[in-house]
């Protein structure tokens, strides 16, 4: 029975065989990997992954697709978690997780932050996302794409934009280009650790009004004398600060508490 893509789940199914092969090649699955696929859909990535993997976990919200997966795969090869990926407890699968997927555009950002909460359990992540989102994720300071998403994800992960995927690789074809990104948790961070909740607050405040200076956006956190103490120019804007600058601010605030 033909599955009709559902807009509410953001379903665009990958159909280009070369793109599929390219994605599996950059993932480089190994037989004993503990791998989780988010949104397996009609199995475009699932099938080639299982040619190598002994076992695969999938997280799928669409009940029709869940039923289809139950029919097509034996439980010893495929464990199906029929739920919303935003609510799934990735910690229930243990550590060393490799997570992959063609993420629905409408939940991609909250899902990335949800996975960041499980960063200690993750080996790596390979996701297909809207190209614009990937460009924001990997953006460097003082560029138009650099923002809150860049800072927060770069705090947790080293990231690389791997592949461009055109709309015609999908059915139905989306109106935007896609890209595949690799995310690897820092084993040794190039900056100190900091209070992550406070980091979120500071970064959110800094980027809340992008065109205003840090003197205006961070005034609830920093007085003029504080900027001098941490050697950050208050006339700069949020996009001018690197991740390590935000970490320095947060650790300074922690010392003042």
Please, what is the average pLDDT of the chain?
A: 93
pLDDT digits (tens, 9 = 90+) for 210-233: 999 999 999 999 999 999 999 999
How far apart (Å, rounded) are the C-alpha atoms in residues 39 and 25?
19
The answer to whether residue 3 scores a pLDDT higher than 80 is: no
Cα dihedral 43, 44, 47, 48, rounded to 10, equals: -160
The answer to the question of residue 113 being in a domain is yes
Q: How many domains are contained in the chain?
A: 2
217 and 157 belong to one structural domain = no
For strands 122-130 and 157-165, give the pairing: unpaired
The answer to the question of residue 191 being in a domain is no
Q: Is 63 exposed, middle or buried (0-12, 13-18, 19+ CB in 10 A)?
A: exposed
Mean pLDDT of 13-26: 94
214 and 147 belong to one structural domain = no
Per-residue pLDDT, 106: 81
Report the Cα–Cα distance between both ends of the chain, in Å, rounded.
Answer: 62
Domain extent for 224: 196-256
How far apart (Å, rounded) are the C-alpha atoms in residues 84 and 248?
36
The answer to the question of residue 2 being in a domain is no
Last residue of a domain, one of 130, 150, 185: 185
Q: How confident is the model at residue 105 (pLDDT cuts 50, 70, 90)?
A: confident
174 and 244 belong to one structural domain = no
160 and 211 belong to one structural domain = no
The answer to whether residue 6 scores a pLDDT higher than 50 is: no
CA pseudo-torsion sign 170, 66, 43, 26: positive
How far apart (Å, rounded) are the C-alpha atoms in residues 257 and 255?
6
30 and 149 belong to one structural domain = yes
DSSP string, 99-125: EEEE--GGGHHHHHHHHHTTGGGEEEE
Last residue of a domain, one of 154, 185, 216: 185
How far apart (Å, rounded) are the C-alpha atoms in residues 237 and 131?
25
Radius of gyration of the chain (CA): 20
CATH number at residue 83: 3.40.50.150
The answer to whether residue 1 scores a pLDDT higher than 80 is: no
Written as six digits, the tokens of 89 are 């407890």
pLDDT digits (tens, 9 = 90+) for 20-47: 999 999 999 999 999 999 999 889 999 9
20 and 46 belong to one structural domain = yes
For strands 78-82 and 56-60, give the pairing: parallel
Written as six digits, the tokens of 66 are 């869940």
Per-residue pLDDT, 11: 56
Contact 94, 34 (CB under 8 A): yes
82 and 29 belong to one structural domain = yes
80 and 173 belong to one structural domain = yes
Last residue of a domain, one of 185, 207, 238: 185
210 and 170 belong to one structural domain = no
233 and 118 belong to one structural domain = no
The answer to the question of residue 86 being in a domain is yes
The answer to the question of residue 102 being in a domain is yes
64 and 145 belong to one structural domain = yes
Written as six digits, the tokens of 95 are 């550590």
The answer, as to whether pTM is greater than 0.85, is: yes
Share of the chain above pLDDT 70, in %: 95
How far apart (Å, rounded) are the C-alpha atoms in residues 133 and 117?
19
pLDDT digits (tens, 9 = 90+) for 172-198: 888 899 999 999 999 999 999 999 999
The answer to the question of residue 190 being in a domain is no
Q: How confident is the model at residue 82 (pLDDT cuts 50, 70, 90)?
A: very high
CATH number at residue 236: 1.10.8.100
Q: How confident is the model at residue 10 (pLDDT cuts 50, 70, 90)?
A: very low
155 and 200 belong to one structural domain = no
The answer to the question of residue 33 being in a domain is yes
The answer to the question of residue 155 being in a domain is yes
């Amino acid at each position: 029975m033909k599955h009709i893509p559902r807009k509410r789940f953001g379903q665009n199914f990958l159909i280009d065989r070369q793109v599929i092969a390219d994605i599996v090649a950059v993932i480089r699955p190994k037989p004993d990997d503990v791998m989780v696929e988010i949104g397996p859909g009609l199995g475009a990535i699932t099938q080639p992954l299982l040619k190598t993997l002994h076992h695969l976990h999938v997280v799928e919200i669409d009940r029709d697709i869940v039923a289809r997966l139950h029919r097509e795969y034996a439980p010893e090869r495929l464990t199906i978690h029929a739920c919303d990926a935003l609510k799934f407890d990735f910690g229930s699968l243990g550590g060393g997780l490799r997570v992959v997927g063609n993420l629905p555009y409408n939940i991609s950002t909250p899902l990335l932050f949800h996975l960041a909460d499980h960063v200690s359990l993750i080996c790596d992540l390979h996701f297909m996302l809207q190209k614009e989102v990937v460009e924001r994720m990997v953006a460097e300071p003082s560029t138009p794409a650099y923002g809150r998403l860049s800072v927060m994800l770069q705090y947790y992960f080293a990231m690389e934009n791997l592949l461009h995927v055109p709309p015609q690789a999908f059915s139905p074809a989306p109106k935007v280009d896609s890209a595949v990104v690799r995310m690897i948790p820092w084993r040794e961070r190039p900056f100190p650790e900091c209070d992550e909740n406070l980091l979120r607050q500071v970064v959110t405040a800094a980027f809340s009004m992008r065109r205003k200076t840090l003197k205006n956006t961070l005034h609830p956190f920093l007085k003029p004398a504080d900027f001098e103490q941490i050697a950050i120019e208050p006339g700069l804007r949020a996009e001018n600060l690197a991740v390590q600058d935000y970490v320095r601010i947060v650790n300074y605030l922690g010392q003042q508490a």
